[in-house]
Amino acid sequence: DNGYKLWLGYSKVTGRQLTDTYRQQLRYLIFPAASVQLNAARAELLTGLNAMLDLKPAEVKDIKGGQTVVVGTPQSLKALAITVPDSIGKEGYLIKKTLINKNQCILIVGNTDVGVLYGVFNFLKLIQTHRSINELNIADRPRLMYRVLDHWDNLNRTVERGYAGSSIWNWHKLPDIIDQRYIDYARANASVGINGSVVNNVNADALILSHEYLLKIKALADVFRTYGIRIYLSVKFSSPIELGGLKTADPLDPEVKKWWADKADEIYRYIPDFGGFLVKANSEGQPGPQRYGRSHADGANMLADALGPHHGIVMWRAFVYDNKVPDDRFKQAYNEFKPLDGKFEDNVIIQVKNGPIDFQPREPFHPLFGAMPNTPLMMEFQLTQEYLGFSTHLVYEAPLFAECLQADTYRYGKGTTVSRIIKGDFNRKLITGMTGVANIGSDLNWCGHPFAQANWYAFGRLAWNPDQSPANIAADWLRMTFNNDESFLSPVKKIMLQSRENTVNYMAPLGLHHIMGQSTHYGPGPWVDNAGRPDWNATYYHRADSVGVGFDRTNKGSDALAQYAPEVEANWGNLKSCPDEYLLWFHHLSWTYKMRSGRTLWDDVVWHYYAGVESVKQMGGAWDKLRGKTDPERFAEVKQLMALQLKEATTWRDACVLYFQTFSKMPIGPGYPKPEHDLAYYKNMKFYYVPGIGGNNYMTN
Ligand code: BDP
């Protein structure tokens, strides 16, 4: 198995009894399909049933002998007078065992065609995961409106921070050639409820809005539409200059406004359901409204006005920080955006990274969540493993996502989780959404590491409902992607659930952050102190000295903690209550500080680094025992990857421990194997090719 089929492999159901019970209940099918979406849903259902059960249900017009699957909307099933509850909304579905004219039927229905499509995928999931269908009554709907993948794909097909080959969009052959991958990509997204795709890098090339590229975008949009997915574009704020020949991109300039409005009209002529724009402005060298003395709201609203008449949205990123601002980078997005609360048009949503710095292995939740009651905030997660070992390390990210989503902001009292904020629980007028920076590329298995597919899958599931459990999502993914054998599932689920903490331990334990190799972000680089900007130096973040380590963000330091609700500030600001996980995010502590473990801080740092590597070793051992329990191809591939991960984890450990030891001057405790090399060796390691650095010069701007 080369992994291409993702979680939609539809492996044959094993076990005579189970197969028979399924078959008996799925004899007949009523599925009139007059739209492209219903047709796609129907094809998927037939493919799935055929592959899993060797079953081709007889297509009938009326319910005769029971055992009929009835699929559609009230409209497509007019003859049967089916009703669908309003409560499932526009994209929800109902899967229900019921009697129609005294005949046993399974209803898979939605209010819209796309709801039916989601219903079909979820019905297939029941069989893929060997659930009983004897009694069914599932009503489900997405809790967020915009569930979007962001591709950081460049027009030359490199992928910024992409570790799975090149871009899946073949711009050269588009619009004429429609690669089967585009269709399978859309199917996979629809199967988990993802309904949007931004196809190009946030460090955008103005060319994407040219006539030639819009034709290519239209071709992709036509594919995506069949699966309920809208296409979005990252746009460069200075496009009116580069593409339109204007002298300025000032958002208040009438000509600039007109240029964008005309451009929007043009796009909607090709793509009537175009989703909208994603904008990275005044960030890491990208142009933006501040060049003209205007605010982020001025910039976003101008684009919102252009898209508004067509029902498009603007996703405006809050990822801004500036080395000329003499303040903790942690605080800058909040300081910039909080005063703009309520000043954005209704079709603007502010995209906020999960944490205040930058997709680190562990971050506290971003203080903007809960701080802008009158502004829609869209969660931005990163699926591609820029800071999590690229695509060679097995890291199941759902626990990272859930940790942020379930964090309590206390903004409306206890229980005000980030999840409730982004769902709009406290302001029903707001649009809602979640986005994930895609980890998809041209590799046969899409994501580089067979287990990285789980992050794409889990993202979709959490965007649909942010309160689902990482363990359940992992179990479903494993069953659908590998098999339903408990003796495989349970050890592998354990590996997955532990994997993120392993990586935190061998990379950046106890709240260390941003200590990776400069600009490539590959491997350890805690010594980096000469990057282009101070706030790109590792030393800026860990602040190690002869006394101790960590960034004091209490009121004695940068006071970033004051950006949180008082309860959170008190909790993390106080050493008695601040969890170990966040310690060095908020405190500078002496090397001899006594930890909860009873060890000194230094010994605890060492303990975590060694524990991280040890658990990677154990993970490898656990995997080895599973030989024969899955296909030999993926077994062997994962085995090799785990060996490489162990090697890299060991490098991380040894380099970091040796580096921090130059400050602590304390020994690596007895019983730990000594690092293989000295610090100079790790500092001098050279990598002549590191994937993920694309064609854009975001680093030098
Ligand atoms: C950083 C990446 C950089 C992205 C930036 C962003 O290193 O490549 O352009 O995030 O999110 O983490 O805009």
Pocket flag, ligand 1, residue 517 (CB < 6 Å)? no
Pocket flag, ligand 1, residue 150 (CB < 6 Å)? no
Q: What is the Cα–Cα distance from 104 to 54, expressed in whole angstroms?
A: 22
Residues 231, 222 contacting (CB under 8 angstroms): no
For 46, 139, 192, 442, the CA distances from 123, given in Å and listed in that order, are 12, 12, 12, 29
| Amino acid sitting at position 193 | G
Q: What is the Cα–Cα distance from 367 to 490, expressed in whole angstroms?
A: 36
Pocket flag, ligand 1, residue 516 (CB < 6 Å)? no
Residue that has been written with the tokens 């991280």 in this structure = 612
Q: Which atom of ligand 1 is nearest to the CA of 203?
A: 9
Write down all domains in the chain, each with its CATH number in brackets: 16-140 (3.30.379.10), 146-473 (3.20.20.80), 504-551+588-683 (3.90.1330.10)
pLDDT given for residue 693 in this prediction: 86
SS3 172: coil
Rounded to the nearest whole angstrom, what is the distance from the C-alpha of residue 381 to the centroid of ligand 1? 12
| Amino acid sitting at position 287 | P
Pocket flag, ligand 1, residue 184 (CB < 6 Å)? no
358 a catalytic residue:
yes
Question: Which of 379, 386, 541, 699 to mutate for ligand 1's pocket (most ligand atoms within 8 Å of CB)?
Answer: 386
Per annotation, catalytic residue among 284, 559, 614, 631: 284
44 a catalytic residue:
no
Q: What is the Cα–Cα distance from 287 to 256, expressed in whole angstroms?
A: 14
Residues in the chain: 701
Q: Where are the strands (E) in 362-466, listed by range?
A: 377-382, 433-437
Residue that has been written with the tokens 């502590």 in this structure = 589
Per annotation, catalytic residue among 140, 160, 386, 603: 386
Residues 655, 528 contacting (CB under 8 angstroms): no
pLDDT given for residue 698 in this prediction: 42
Question: Which of 153, 159, 198, 203 to mutate for ligand 1's pocket (most ligand atoms within 8 Å of CB)?
Answer: 203
Rounded to the nearest whole angstrom, what is the distance from the C-alpha of residue 380 to the centroid of ligand 1? 12
pLDDT given for residue 532 in this prediction: 83
Q: Where are the strands (E) in 556-681, listed by range?
A: 589-590
- Strand pairing partners for 108? 71, 95
Pocket flag, ligand 1, residue 514 (CB < 6 Å)? no
- 648 token code pair: 């890299």
Pocket flag, ligand 1, residue 358 (CB < 6 Å)? yes
Report the largest interatomic distance among the alpha carbons of the chain, rounded to a whole angstrom. Answer: 82
Q: What is the Cα–Cα distance from 39 to 36, expressed in whole angstroms?
A: 5
Q: Which atom of ligand 1 is nearest to the CA of 286?
A: 13
Question: Which of 358, 378, 387 to mutate for ligand 1's pocket (most ligand atoms within 8 Å of CB)?
Answer: 358
Q: What is the Cα–Cα distance from 281 to 317, expressed in whole angstroms?
A: 7
SS3 231: strand
For residue 378, report the phi and psi dihedrals to the nearest 5 degrees: -105, 125
**Residue with CA at minimum distance from ligand 1 atom 13:** 202
Give ∠ CA 111-146-299 in degrees, rounded to 5. 135
What is the C-alpha R_g of the chain?
26
| Amino acid sitting at position 134 | N
DSSP states of 245-302: --S---TT-HHHHHHHHHHHHHHHHH-TT--EEEE--SSTT---GGGGT--HHHHHHH
Rounded to the nearest whole angstrom, what is the distance from the C-alpha of residue 134 to the centroid of ligand 1? 48
Pocket flag, ligand 1, residue 381 (CB < 6 Å)? no
Across the chain, mean pLDDT equals 97
- 138 token code pair: 């599932």
Per annotation, catalytic residue among 1, 358, 425, 580: 358
284 a catalytic residue:
yes
Give ∠ CA 246-231-344 in degrees, rounded to 5. 60
Pocket flag, ligand 1, residue 493 (CB < 6 Å)? no
Phi-psi region of 81 (alpha: psi -120 to 50; beta: other; left: phi over 0): left
**Residue with CA at minimum distance from ligand 1 atom 2:** 161
Kindly give the parts of the chain with pLDDT less than 70. 694-701
Pocket flag, ligand 1, residue 140 (CB < 6 Å)? no
pLDDT given for residue 341 in this prediction: 98
**Residue with CA at minimum distance from ligand 1 atom 12:** 358
Q: Which atom of ligand 1 is nearest to the CA of 380?
A: 11
Q: What is the Cα–Cα distance from 169 to 148, expressed in whole angstroms?
A: 17
Pocket flag, ligand 1, residue 387 (CB < 6 Å)? no
Rounded to the nearest whole angstrom, what is the distance from the C-alpha of residue 280 to the centroid of ligand 1? 10
Pocket flag, ligand 1, residue 319 (CB < 6 Å)? yes
Rounded to the nearest whole angstrom, what is the distance from the C-alpha of residue 435 to the centroid of ligand 1? 14
Closest C-alpha among 112, 114, 108 to residue 37: 114
Q: Is residue 542 within a helix (H) or strand (E), and if so which, with residue range?
A: helix 538-542
Q: Which atom of ligand 1 is nearest to the CA of 359?
A: 12
C-beta atoms surrounding 455 within 10 Å: 27
